Amino acid sequence: MIPTPQLSNDKLIQIQIGTPEDPFWSFSFRYWKEMSYFEVNQQSSKWFKSLLEKLSDMSEMKVGDFLENGILKDRNRYHKVNWKSRNVPIKKSDLSHVPKCFLNEDDYEIVQFQLSKATGRVIGFFDNMRVFNIILLDPLHNLQPSRDFNYSVNPTSPTYTPFQLLHKKIRETLHSVQHHCETVCDPLVRLQQDIEDEYGNFHMIMVDSILFEDLSLRMEEKGCESVNDLLLEYLCNET
């Protein structure tokens, strides 16, 4: 039987996260956002599995060891983003979801690395804690168009949560009722019919605009996708 090595807490921490000077790769999605040409709605579950496996693989390497190893960097197509390269569809200033203190400082270079040649890139930067902040996912390799594909930039489509899809359906139905109904019809009846056809049974609650704005704000603050989720969050905190 092989004895289990006895390690101090300091040694365990170094094995798990490295040292403050040279930590293992870790990732943050704090500043990630979908934007035109960098949306992921069209990607399959296999693509997302590839993304997670790549982040897992990178997490096994120390940041300093990686950055000092030219072969590793080349193998992962790790390099600074060239904002002046041919057919780049956005400017650095378009990254409005990233704080200006990171965009305007030379110490925080925007870089990319590949999932694979066929599955696109991950774009982000290292912060002062050497955490890699992912700011864009680029499954179609749109940020640095490739000569192999005639420098083409391909359109993408946005991703919606279930609540966002329902909200979108409600807006579309109301717009249709208001602009395309030849006969007088009750928008609530039409709305209920359309949504039941697509989503099955559901409950409709009518609220005034002030309460709706308040509920929407609280749902956004709590990260809830429905009023039910918001109520559960409230009840759990009250008990």
Whole-number Å distance between alpha carbons of 173 and 180: 10
Backbone torsion region of residue 27, taken as left when φ is above 0, otherwise alpha when ψ lies between -120 and 50, otherwise beta? beta
User: Is residue 111 pLDDT above 90, yes or no?
Assistant: yes
CA 229 centroid distance within chain = 21
Task: Tell me the average pLDDT across 105-113.
Answer: 91
User: Is residue 201 pLDDT above 70, yes or no?
Assistant: no
Whole-number Å distance between alpha carbons of 108 and 22: 17
User: Over the stretch 119-175, which tens digit does the pLDDT of each residue have?
Assistant: 899 999 999 999 999 999 999 999 988 777 677 888 888 887 766 777 777 777 667
Whole-number Å distance between alpha carbons of 124 and 109: 8
Structural tokens at position 153: 């930039």
Whole-number Å distance between alpha carbons of 70 and 74: 6
Higher-scoring residue by pLDDT: 211, 54? 54
User: Is residue 184 pLDDT above 70, yes or no?
Assistant: no
pLDDT more than 70, % of the chain: 70
User: Over the stretch 12-70, which tens digit does the pLDDT of each residue have?
Assistant: 445 455 566 789 999 999 999 999 999 998 889 999 999 999 999 999 999 999 999 99
According to the model, what pLDDT value does residue 19 have? 64
Contact in structure between 191 and 173 (CB atoms under 8 Å): yes
For 6, 46, 111, 160, 232, the CA distances from 120, given in Å and listed in that order, are 43, 13, 13, 21, 39
Eight-state DSSP code of residue 148: G
**CB-CB neighbours of 154 under 10 Å:** 13
Task: Tell me the average pLDDT across 111-126.
Answer: 91
